[in-house]
Amino acid sequence: MDIKSLTKKFSSKGSLEFRQQGDGLILLDIQNQYAHATVCLQGAQLLSWRPLGSTPVIWLSEQAVYQQQKSIRGGVPVCWPWFGAHKDDPNMPAHGFARTQEWDLAEVNSHEDGSTDLLLTLEGNKDVTPLWPYAFTLSLQMHIGAALEMSLTTHNRDKQAMVISEALHTYFQVSDINKVSVDGLDQCSYLDKVDGFNEKIQTGPLRIDTEVDRIYSDTTDVCVINDTGLNRQIVVSKSGSHSTVVWNPWAAKSAAMSDMGEQAYTKMLCVESANAAANSLQLAPGESHSLQVCYHVIEL
């Protein structure tokens, strides 16, 4: 649907407004009594969520590029149907293709309590999505309120089983990476991507003082991002997710990314709710699976 039709169908002045950014990407700004949020229809990528009275919770790069077929640096990219590099073919796009496709905005519901729900969908089959020659429906539900809830559902409409890996690759905004620790991963084993995927065990809270790129396996626990600079905690709860990925590129890699910038790594931390590596999922024909997250902020 083009911006004119979307505006006619869903917009409401002051609370739901569409605009275009960069290379024609369509963004929806939501303002309700709990929060401000922005969602880009390409990739069904939430770009911001700021509960009223709070500092933004989701980080978006100041150097983000708004281009067709390119994932925006920040927000919540949807990694699907594979997480990271493709397992057999290094020429396939990193983190799959869902994050660079145009999704359909299927529903917008403004509730009486003042919160807003969105439903975005992406359908494919061997003709439409040759990189993933299965019939599927992917949907992302978002609930924008005092908490942010997202549910990513994969429905296998094919006659054969499919194996997927996936993540809601959330970039959280922090005051200063040196003032941050993450609870909830103690004693979890992880694959250390910056050390040849060696398997290691986390001990105690996670502090970040170098490049960190880890897939924590077999964990369904809540993570808490403690930010002493902002005197707040971000609580990351999830269900249907057995991996947690933590990523911060640190100085050299941040500087090398043109859509990130030299100091950007000090202001962000990705804590991604995932099913990756050994926690990849097999879906039988007709089967569905949902990965759900809920984020809320505790001001201290």
213: contact with ligand BG6 by CB under 6 A: yes
Q: How far is the CB of 43 from ligand BG6 (least distance, A)?
A: 11
Nearest residue to 210 via CA among 223, 199, 194, 222:
194
Centroid of chain to Cα 134: 23
| Interface of this chain with ligand BG6, residues 70 to 89, rule: CB under 6 A | 71, 84
3-state secondary structure 114-125: CCEEEEEEEEEC
**DSSP reduced 3-state for 254:** helix
Instruction: Name the residue nearer to ligand BG6 (CB basis): 232 or 238.
Output: 238
Known active-site residue 36: no
Site residues (CB under 6 A) for ligand BG6, limited to 266-285 = 272
Give min distance, CB of 31 to ligand BG6, in A: 28
Pairing of strands 206-207, 268-275: unpaired
| Residue among 163, 275, 167 at smallest CA distance from 219 | 275
Q: Which residue number, 71 or 173, has a Cβ lying nearer to ligand BG6?
A: 71
Site string for ligand BG6, 106-145 (x = CB under 6 A): ----------------------------------------
Nearer to ligand BG6, 95 or 238 (CB): 95
Q: Is 295 in the site for ligand BG6 (CB under 6 A)?
A: no
Asked if 100 interacts with ligand BG6 (CB under 6 A), we say no
For residue 143, indicate whether it is catalytic. Answer: no
Place of tokens 């594979």: 82
* Beta-bridge partners for 37: 30, 49
Catalytic entry in 155, 166, 242, 272:
272
Determine if 193 is a binding residue for ligand BG6 (CB under 6 A): yes
**Cross-strand partners of 207:** 181
HEC per residue, 107-176:
EEEECCCCCEEEEEEEEECCCCCCCCCCCEEEEEEEEECCCEEEEEEEEECCCCCEEECEEECCEEECCC
**Which of 26, 51, 95, 230 touches ligand BG6 (CB under 6 A)?**
95
| Residue whose CB is less far from ligand BG6, 119 or 274 | 274
Closer residue to ligand BG6 (CB): 151 or 254: 254
**52, 65, 94, 106: which one contacts ligand BG6 (CB under 6 A)?**
94
Task: State the minimum distance, in angstroms, from the CB of residue 25 to ligand BG6.
Answer: 16
Residue 151 CB, shortest distance to ligand BG6, in Å, is 20
Number of residues engaging ligand BG6 in binding (CB under 6 A): 10
201 contacts 297 by C-beta, under 8 angstroms:
no
Asked whether the beta carbons of 270 and 248 are under 8 A apart, the reply is yes
- 3 state SS of 184: coil
Distance CA 35, CA 41 (A): 19
Binding site for ligand BG6 (CB under 6 A): 71, 84, 94-95, 169, 193, 213, 245, 247, 272
Catalytic residues: 169, 272
